Chains A and B, each alone.
Chain A
Amino acid sequence: MKTLLDCKKTCKVRVIKLNAAAELKQRLISFGVMKGAEVEVLEHAPAKKTIEVKVGKMRIALRDQEAALIEVEKI
């Protein structure tokens, strides 16, 4: 199982599943991170603690813990 955390910089993936709890899931969905969405990894903060991704036209920052809950596949 590959998650968003495993992705390298500039890597483009598609979301297959969100393993987050209900609240966080709603949050991710409202940001456009949902099943079928294409996500591009833009930047890692020092020590990969935080990552910046692009969904559609929106850039969002996620912590490593949250990124690990997002199952993805390569496109």
Chain B
Amino acid sequence: MNENIDMQGKACPVIANHIKVALVGQPNVGKSMLINSVSNAHLHVGNFSGVTVDKTEVLFDYKDYHFTVVDLPGTYAFTDYTIEERVTHDYLCAEDYDIIINVVDSTNLEKNLQLTSELLTMSKKVVIALNMSDEADKEGIEVNSEYMSELIGVECIKVSAVTKMGIEELVDAVIRNYENDKNESKLVFSEPVEEEIAQIVWYLDKHKYEAKNSYRNIAINLLKNNKKTYAKLHDNPIWTELQPILIEASRHIELHHNSDDIKEAFAEEYASFNRGVVAEVVKQKNQVQQKTLTEKIDNILIHPIFGIPIFLFFMWSLFQLTFEVGAIPMEYIDSFFGWFGDVVGATIANDDVRSLVVDGIIAGVGAVILFTPNIIILFIGIALLETTGYMSRVAFLLDGFFHKFGLHGQSFIPLVTGFGCSIPAYMSARILKNDRDRLLTLFIIGFMSCGARLPVYVLFAGAFFSPEMAGNILFVIYISGAILGLIAAKILKLTAFKGADEPFVMEMPKYRLPSMKLVWHTVLTKTMMYLKKAGTFIAAASMLIWFLSNYPKNVILEEEYGIKIEQAVSEEEKVNLENSLATDLLEQSYLGSIGKFSEPIFAPLGFDWKMSVALQAGLAAKEVVVSTLGVLYSLGGDVDEENNSLINAISKNISFPSAIAFIVVIMIYLPCLAASIVFTREAGGVKYFFYLLAFTSIAAYGMAFIAYNVTKMLV
């Protein structure tokens, strides 16, 4: 919560009034950022369309009121072009709320007012937040907010989400408007339209039509062909007389605008009103038409020739950083968990409990936490990509290429998000309007390796390649995943998702320096989620794996080996015997049985039963693959102190071709349980889940089989 607000908010009485605020604005106007400064909520804010994919509620207290602010997805106009716009439109029309805060970008008022003018014809109270006032000041744009309030008839408050300027005034204005009666907006149209409105108003007035909204707004909505207003009036007796008047009115307006589209005519009406308002209230100093910074940057970043290589370079650097910098704290974390396991183990007397804690929980959770630095770097990279505005440029650059594969340039946004985590990626696919395009994108998001698969790659790249090469290998893995995704898209487009393409019209937002606070919030939230998962889900899974790999106990086998070990002559023989005991025990455990049972299925890919089990465990979550390998190899692997790291165990126990095949399966097969659930929800049916399961399993198996055999021939 904002500090000022917080101080006063403490005195909030128990029986206070609720004010429910709907936060509405076009994309990229800083809505989420504004809600962040109002309430200090950890919302995810990005500089590309489609961050707020679902409405988010934020609660706080101020003065004598409880506030509920509903952050609605950005919408350019009251159309149902994308799912997000439908969410916003439906909410505004059907839900119960008290007041609208319309957030607008002060540096681009004219465009933003298009949405505002549509909001003004609703029966709700509106307050306009002139956001990015600090940026406007810098650009020499002066907005006279008092005059603007007077001209439009609703309060306009200058705010800046970044500097927190005007936030309190905004909340005060909301309270003021809540307490007072609604002001009629002063939106005026051209004379011919006003005449028609007047006539309909006169008619409604004559029949004393009962409605919440004003007659003027009803008239405007009728003329705009608003379906909901029509539906309401349609069952009223006055409809029979009203209808001919409406038809005549529409004809007049269309004639006046020389268009056969009444919506286009109204858009032009709004535009000319807004132009008028902007001309009155906005003063632009230093009108010299210089190239803006954004244009200068764009000259380089979306250059027809250099644009794509620059993008590839950025991605390559990100993966290099992920590996190189991420490797530094890894050693410490690794040795910490080794030490921690020893210390904790020393305090536990019972052998079984100690094994459960040290070899099960600590080994499993430790193996996952080990990769936190890599995850953090990847999340920072993606957060930067989102908040700077570069994401839209990449969509622009890649659209031509993507289009060849049947994808949409904007598919890029969910796809890149997929490198972080598939769940938000599935949700952000909502920016695609066409259902077929959206489904296609949903199906291939899994090919973009998510952050949770990174540990597996880092592990295997570290085990089989020199440290200098490992970063490049990571890059190759990610890129080949993406390329496989594109090929899969093409195949799906030619078979399952045939049909016309969705038009590509996208805003290219201004470049913005990322707010460190915001990046920090985003990365922190995601990292905490990762760690929380490690502490709960992964810990539980590790315990389960530990149990399955330790039971049933085989006393006879242990005794047999016990005698042999005692009789062993050399230290070396002792160690060997201990190892083979562990291996034999593991093989006859429950987990061993499961692994053995499924081994024949995976044998053509060169997997041993441990890898088979790890893969199956990975269906729950990809991190579990690493923790399972950690548990399996810490039990059955080396007892040698200096050589006990998982990386060494893997490079020793797994052949190179099998490792490649393993990576390929991880790359392609079904995303984790949580992501599969979100996928099913977003795709709109359980049948799609089974399609995805079949599609990914067949592709993963086939590709891994090819990879295994090709590598075997080459090595």
How many chain-A residues does the 8 Å CB contact rule pick out? 35
Q: Are A30 and B504 in contact (CB under 8 A)?
A: no
Q: Are B267 and A29 in contact (CB under 8 A)?
A: yes
Contact A66 to B271, CB < 8 A, known contacts A26-B79, A61-B395: no
Q: Are A50 and B298 in contact (CB under 8 A)?
A: no
Q: Are B298 and A57 in contact (CB under 8 A)?
A: no
Residue B409, interface by CB 8 Å: yes
Q: Encode contact with B along A52-64: 1 for CB under 8 Å, 0 otherwise.
A: 1000111111110
- Within 23-75 of A, Cβ neighbours of B (below 8 Å) are at 23-32, 34-36, 42-47, 49-50, 52, 56-63, 65-66
Q: Looking at the complex, which one of A32, A45, A50 makes contact with B114 (CB distance below 8 Å)?
A: A32
Docked pose: A60 CA to B701 CA in angstroms: 42
Q: Looking at the complex, which one of B271, B302, B501, B505 makes contact with A62 (CB distance below 8 Å)?
A: B505
Q: Are A66 and B302 in contact (CB under 8 A)?
A: no
Residue A1, interface by CB 8 Å: no
Residues of B within 8 A of A34 (CB): 264, 267-268, 271
Contact A57 to B107, CB < 8 A, known contacts A26-B263, A52-B298, A63-B403: yes
The distance from the CB of B130 to the nearest CB of chain A, in whole angstroms, is: 15
- Within 210-247 of B, Cβ neighbours of A (below 8 Å) are at none
Nearest neighbor of A47 in chain B, beta-carbon distance: B400
Residues of A within 8 A of B623 (CB): none
The distance from the CB of A20 to the nearest CB of chain B, in whole angstroms, is: 8
Q: Are B399 and A50 in contact (CB under 8 A)?
A: yes
Docked pose: A61 CA to B110 CA in angstroms: 19
Docked pose: A24 CA to B264 CA in angstroms: 12
Residues of B within 8 A of A31 (CB): 76, 111, 505, 507
Docked pose: A26 CA to B266 CA in angstroms: 11
Q: Encode contact with A along B62-106: 1 for CB under 8 Å, 0 otherwise.
A: 000000000000001101010000000000000000000000000
Q: Looking at the complex, which one of A27, A42, A63 makes contact with B399 (CB distance below 8 Å)?
A: A63
Q: Looking at the complex, which one of B111, B271, B308, B508 makes contact with A52 (CB distance below 8 Å)?
A: B508
Q: Are B271 and A50 in contact (CB under 8 A)?
A: no
Q: Are B298 and A66 in contact (CB under 8 A)?
A: no
Residue B685, interface by CB 8 Å: no
Docked pose: A19 CA to B268 CA in angstroms: 16
Residue B479, interface by CB 8 Å: no
Q: Are B400 and A27 in contact (CB under 8 A)?
A: no
- Within 289-343 of B, Cβ neighbours of A (below 8 Å) are at 294-295, 298-299, 302, 304-305, 307-308
Residue B634, interface by CB 8 Å: no
Q: Are B81 and A58 in contact (CB under 8 A)?
A: no
The distance from the CB of A52 to the nearest CB of chain B, in whole angstroms, is: 6
The distance from the CB of A65 to the nearest CB of chain B, in whole angstroms, is: 7
Docked pose: A23 CA to B79 CA in angstroms: 8
Q: Are B261 and A32 in contact (CB under 8 A)?
A: no
Residues of B within 8 A of A35 (CB): 259, 264, 268
Contact A58 to B271, CB < 8 A, known contacts A25-B264, A29-B77: no
Residue B397, interface by CB 8 Å: yes
The distance from the CB of A35 to the nearest CB of chain B, in whole angstroms, is: 6
Nearest neighbor of B396 in chain A, beta-carbon distance: A61
Contact A56 to B111, CB < 8 A, known contacts A29-B264, A30-B79: yes
Q: Looking at the complex, which one of A18, A23, A43, A57 makes contact with B302 (CB distance below 8 Å)?
A: A43
Q: Are A60 and B400 in contact (CB under 8 A)?
A: no
Residues of B within 8 A of A57 (CB): 107-108, 110-111
Residues of B within 8 A of A36 (CB): 268
Q: Are B264 and A61 in contact (CB under 8 A)?
A: no
The distance from the CB of A30 to the nearest CB of chain B, in whole angstroms, is: 3
Residues of A within 8 A of B302 (CB): 43, 45, 52
Q: Are A22 and B504 in contact (CB under 8 A)?
A: no
The distance from the CB of B204 to the nearest CB of chain A, in whole angstroms, is: 27
Docked pose: A30 CA to B299 CA in angstroms: 26
Q: Looking at the complex, which one of B76, B304, B506 makes contact with A30 (CB distance below 8 Å)?
A: B76
Q: Are A61 and B304 in contact (CB under 8 A)?
A: no
Q: Are A59 and B399 in contact (CB under 8 A)?
A: no
Residue B372, interface by CB 8 Å: no
Q: Are B79 and A27 in contact (CB under 8 A)?
A: yes
Q: Are B304 and A45 in contact (CB under 8 A)?
A: yes
Residues of A within 8 A of B114 (CB): 30, 32
Docked pose: A18 CA to B396 CA in angstroms: 22
Residues of A within 8 A of B298 (CB): 42-43, 52, 59
Contact A66 to B304, CB < 8 A, known contacts A30-B79, A30-B114, A50-B396: no
The distance from the CB of A61 to the nearest CB of chain B, in whole angstroms, is: 4
Most A Cβ at <10 Å: residue of B77, B268, B506: B506
Residues of A within 8 A of B299 (CB): 43
Residues of A within 8 A of B507 (CB): 31, 58-61
- Within 261-292 of B, Cβ neighbours of A (below 8 Å) are at 261, 263-264, 267-268, 271
Pairs across A and B, CB under 8 Å, 29 listed: A18-B264, A20-B503, A23-B79, A25-B264, A27-B76, A27-B505, A29-B264, A30-B76, A30-B81, A30-B114, A32-B114, A32-B271, A34-B268, A34-B271, A36-B268, A43-B298, A43-B299, A43-B304, A46-B307, A47-B400, A50-B399, A57-B110, A57-B111, A59-B294, A60-B506, A61-B399, A61-B409, A65-B503, A65-B504
Pairs of residues from A and B, 10 with the lowest C-beta to C-beta distance, nearest first: A49-B400, A30-B77, A63-B504, A30-B76, A59-B508, A29-B267, A61-B396, A57-B108, A50-B399, A61-B506
- Tell me the A residues contacting B by CB distance below 8 Å: 18, 20, 22-32, 34-36, 42-47, 49-50, 52, 56-63, 65-66
